[in-house]
Amino acid sequence: MSDSTLAGQFFDAAIGLLERVRDEGSGNIAAAGAAIADTVAAGGRLFAFGAGHSSLAAQDVVYRAGGLALMNLLAVPGTVGVDVMPATLGSALERVDGLAGAVLDSSPAEAGDVLVIISLSGRNALPVEMAMNARALGLKVIGVTSVAYAKGTRSRHGSGGFLRDHCDIVLDSKISIGDAELTVEGIEAPFAPASTVVTSAVMQAMMAAAAEQLVARGIEPPMLRSGNVDGGHEWNGRVMTEYRDRIFYRR
C-alpha cells in the first residue's frame, strides 16, 4: 500500500536505495567480506574510519551487540562527531593536508591489516590521504562512498583524485549528490538524507559476508553479544580477553 506522506516517501526512497545496493553491489560486498575474513584468519587487525556523519557508520560496527569484536575505530580528533565546538571545525579538518598521515603513524595499524574508510563524497583531503597512506603502509583499503560524487564534483585533494581511486575494493552507496531524497513546495532546500541508513546497511552486510566466509573456513567469528541479555557481559569478557591483542577500544 502506497503512503503519500513525506515520511512514507522517505521510506520508499531509502528502500529503493537499499535494493539497488543489494542488487548492484553484492559482488563487491562479498569481496570486502572475504578481505576481512582473510585478515581475521591471518591474525590481522581491522579498523574503520569516517569523518563527520560518515563516522556514524564506522562507529556502528565497533564494540556493539551482534558485531565482530575485532573491528576498531580509527579516530581523528575533532572529526568524529558534532560534539566538537564549533561543529563546523570537523568539516574544516577534513580538508587539512597531512592530518591523515599523522594519525596513521601514531595508530596501531600496520601492514596486512584492513582499513574501511567511509566518506560519502570521497572528495576531501582527509579520506583521500587516509587511503593513500594506508595502502603505502601495506594495509588493504575498503572504501565506502558514493561514486556519483566522483562523476559530478571536483576533488578537494591536490592529486585531483577521490577516495574511490585509492581503494582495493569500493562499495558504492548509490547516494545522489547532495544527500537529500525529498523536495516539496514550501521547503526551499532538498531534505531527508538517506546516507546514514544506506551506509550502515552496507557496513553490516559486509560484516555478515565476512562472518559467512569465516564459518566456511571452519573459523568461528568472534562476535559480541548484547550486554542487556543474561550472560552477555560474561560472553563479551571471554571474547575480548581471547582477542585482546587485536582489540584497541579497551586500552
DSSP states of 108-145 as a string? S--TT-EEEEE-SS--SHHHHHHHHHHHHTT-EEEEEE
Residues 6 or more apart whose CB falls under 8 angstroms from that of 16 comprise: none
The x, y and z cell numbers of residue 224, run together, are 559480541
Question: Phi and psi of 244, rounded to 5°?
Answer: -60, -25
Task: Evaluate if residue 187 carries a pLDDT over 90.
Answer: yes
Looking at residues 62-79, what average pLDDT do you find? 92
Mean predicted lDDT score pLDDT of the chain: 93
Looking at residues 7-28, what average pLDDT do you find? 97
CB atoms under 10 Å from CB of 241, counted, come to 10
pLDDT-wise least confident of 16-30, 90-104, 117-131, 191-205: 90-104
